Structure 1
Amino acid sequence: MKSLLNGIEYVFMRAAALFFVVFVVCIFLQLLSRYVPTISLLWPAEIATYAFIWTVFLGASVMVYHQEHFKIDYVFEKFKGQALLYVKLFSHLIIGLFGLLMIIYGFSLVQLFWEWTVNTLPQLQQGYLWLALPISGLGMVLFSIGNALEDVKDFKEKGEQVG
């Protein structure tokens, strides 16, 4: 499971980096089209928006894998042993359920907007934008399961060492 999750994390990070580069290039092109009279481009703003959204959602999924997502450390610091394990498992459950909702409602949005196109770039369907939701949601679900299994494994190993 760990190697599968490492592979998904690798792909997500590389894709997020690629989308970030596309975002920066499009912002640069947009600036050129505003300040250089001979350059007139309308599409960089749309592509930059798509690339930024993909970067954020893929990055959020990877942060779940590294457990660097939004969490309240105060709660984790107050518990030890089995109680801490339960708090961590509850946290993974909530994040996994959030990812599941992203998958379910994300696919609904993909289907709803698949045929819609962007005004400045009619070849680009809006469904590609919304596809970021179910894909990052799937990553969050898988990463939450992997983190929960890892926490249980760590707890069992520590419990055997103490006993």
Structure 2
Amino acid sequence: MTLHLVKLCVGVESPDHLRALQHGRRLAVGDALVHTTRMTPRRADEIVPGGSLYWVMTRAIRCRQTILDLEPVTDPETGRSACRIHLDPTVVETEARPWRPFQGWRYLSAEQAPPDRRAGVATADDEVAAMPEEMRQALREMGLI
């Protein structure tokens, strides 16, 4: 059974924003797309191959990227263990699924994972994107989006 990871994407407003940030990083460090996290998943054999990293943005899972590899590493400066999550650069938008803030990452079963968003189908995300920024900010502060 495939297992996924879910992680907060702090400071990122949308899948398009994530794409732009990652594109800039890939230009700076080459084609490798790696996200480093402090802990290595103990259930790595259930994640690779086939698992994805689901990104939480503005209190909802909004997109995912396929996990290509999980690489345990040691930070040479601090001596602390860490994990490099090698990601496919393709950001796949999903149907928005509300998700509360948390620290680190969490496991996500295949049954819990939101489905990929179908192209050409309007969603609540589209309606929110069409709102004025002030309205979106007020709704975020109230915890409604």
Shared fold by TM > 0.5?
Answer: no
The normalised TM-score by structure 2 is: 0.28
Which structure dedicates a bigger proportion of its chain to strand? 2
More helix by share: 1
TM-score scaled by structure 1? 0.25
